Amino acid sequence: LRAEIEHAVDEEMALTLEDVLERRTRALLFDAGQGLGGVEEVADIMARRLDWDATRKATEVDRYRRLAASLRSFA
């Protein structure tokens, strides 16, 4: 998975956590845990590659978690 993340960022110009976990790896839709088990590690990889500061990284993680939660709600 690490290589997939690096490839998505380096070669496919993925710029957000959502882009990687929803569109590139499809973890949001096809992983039973929606990719949440590895969200911090993926964010760490992306932060190093894209030079995100702590605030940007936290924002990306929060945004992804909210997206995942919204897909679990049926109201």
Q: pLDDT tens track of the chain, all 75 residues?
A: 899 999 999 999 999 999 999 999 999 999 999 999 999 999 999 999 999 999 999 999 999 999 999 998 765
Q: CA quadruple 54, 56, 57, 58: dihedral positive or negative? A: positive
How much helix, strand and coil, in percent to the nearest 5, is found in the chain? 75, 0, 25
Q: Give the model's pLDDT for residue 40.
A: 97
The pTM is what?
0.92
